[in-house]
């Protein structure tokens, strides 16, 4: 008992004060950024990108990164001969719409050669008409949602759903509870059931075997609710896009409020995304 008490008071506060203080000294790998003015438009990065995240049009001399697909693997920086691609330390990447994560601002116009089927690819799950999370319902609760946001802007209950990740995102979400991040200091806690939750934190591609469970979990969460997609898989399918067993992003099944890119996103990037959903950060 004495040793336990001694240990408890041994260390000063370990918790990092994000988002009050941004710990920018670390040398971690964050967002890759393309400087088109330096680009020689050889197309090597777009060709070798493992998740086809680089939107490239050599003829029109346009290039950009779809951050919802990017797996932050550093390969583009390594293959770029003209030094046009640089990895930065930026991790605050979460956005309210997927279009904002794309250079041309559009989710549907993807490089046509790589994606012949996406335009008419529909979610494969057979959901009963009445079961589909209706947009009308969303609109009805919109006003209420704004009001409630003010209320649960201070406290939030989260249910995490893994819909087919590699478990790295889940470990990062787990790390939100460790002494370094301690998300409870922000009034945010994780609950055991979707019935108790205000927010679903979804990781993974919504695999064929998980999609029904994901929709059911969504339906079990009381309105108004928020959905945050964590990681490249949940945003767009990531490296597992276009497989017989996956969907290209969870937004083909349920409406998403905030997308957090990353593979996996760092715990602080997840905190940023959650706070963004709560409109507590800009």
Q: Which residues bind other proteins (CB under 8 A)?
A: 3-4, 7-8, 11, 14, 26-29, 48, 50-51, 71-75, 78, 117, 121, 124-126, 159-175, 177-180, 190, 192-194, 204-205, 207-210, 212-213, 217, 238-240, 242-246, 263-264, 266
Cα torsion 26, 28, 33, 39: sign: positive
* Distance of closest approach, residue 105 Cβ to other proteins, in angstroms: 26
What phi-psi label fits residue 242: left (phi over 0), alpha (psi between -120 and 50 degrees) or beta? left
* Distance of closest approach, residue 256 Cβ to other proteins, in angstroms: 18
* Distance of closest approach, residue 272 Cβ to other proteins, in angstroms: 16
Whichever of 140 and 245 has its CB closer to other proteins, that residue is 245
* Distance of closest approach, residue 144 Cβ to other proteins, in angstroms: 26
Q: Which residues lie across from 258 on neighbouring strands?
A: 228
Whichever of 143 and 184 has its CB closer to other proteins, that residue is 184
* Distance of closest approach, residue 1 Cβ to other proteins, in angstroms: 9
End-to-end CA distance of the chain: 46
Whichever of 59 and 126 has its CB closer to other proteins, that residue is 126
* Distance of closest approach, residue 13 Cβ to other proteins, in angstroms: 12
Q: Are 34 and 63 in contact (CB under 8 A)?
A: yes
Whichever of 157 and 174 has its CB closer to other proteins, that residue is 174
CA separation for the pair 213, 161 (Å, rounded): 9
CA separation for the pair 104, 101 (Å, rounded): 9
* Distance of closest approach, residue 143 Cβ to other proteins, in angstroms: 30
Entry field: residues in the chain? 282
H/E run at residue 62? strand 62-65
Other C-beta atoms lying within 10 Å of the C-beta of residue 176: 23
Whichever of 97 and 219 has its CB closer to other proteins, that residue is 219
Whichever of 5 and 282 has its CB closer to other proteins, that residue is 5
Whichever of 11 and 136 has its CB closer to other proteins, that residue is 11
Nearest alpha-carbon partner for 70 in 252, 236, 245, 267: 236
**DSSP codes of every residue in 170-201:** HHHHHGGGSTTT-GGGGTEEE-S-GGG-SEEE
């Amino acid at each position: 008992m004495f040793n336990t008490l001694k240990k408890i008071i041994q260390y000063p506060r370990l918790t990092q004060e994000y988002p009050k203080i941004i710990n920018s000294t670390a040398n971690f790998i964050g967002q890759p950024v393309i400087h088109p003015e330096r680009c020689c438009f050889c197309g090597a990065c777009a060709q070798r990108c493992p998740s086809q995240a680089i939107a490239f049009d050599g003829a029109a001399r346009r290039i950009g990164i779809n951050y919802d697909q990017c797996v932050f693997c550093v390969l583009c920086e390594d293959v770029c001969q003209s030094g046009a691609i640089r990895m930065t330390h930026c991790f605050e990447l979460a956005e309210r719409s997927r279009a904002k994560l794309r250079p041309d601002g559009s989710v549907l116009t993807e490089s046509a050669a790589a994606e012949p089927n996406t335009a008419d690819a529909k979610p494969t799950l057979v959901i009963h008409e009445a079961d589909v999370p209706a947009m009308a319902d969303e609109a009805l609760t919109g006003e209420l949602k704004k009001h409630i946001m003010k209320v649960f802007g201070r406290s939030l209950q989260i249910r995490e759903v893994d819909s087919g990740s590699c478990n790295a995102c889940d470990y990062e979400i787990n790390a939100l509870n460790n002494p370094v991040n301690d998300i409870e200091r922000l009034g945010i806690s994780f609950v055991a059931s979707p019935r108790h939750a205000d927010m679903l934190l979804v990781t993974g591609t919504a695999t064929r075997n998980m999609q029904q469970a994901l929709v059911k979990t969504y339906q079990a969460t009381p309105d108004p609710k928020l959905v945050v997609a964590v990681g490249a898989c949940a945003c767009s399918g990531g490296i597992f896009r276009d497989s017989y067993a996956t969907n290209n992003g969870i937004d083909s099944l349920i409406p998403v409020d905030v997308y957090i890119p990353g593979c996996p996103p760092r715990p602080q990037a997840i905190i940023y995304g959650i706070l963004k959903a709560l409109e507590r950060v800009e």
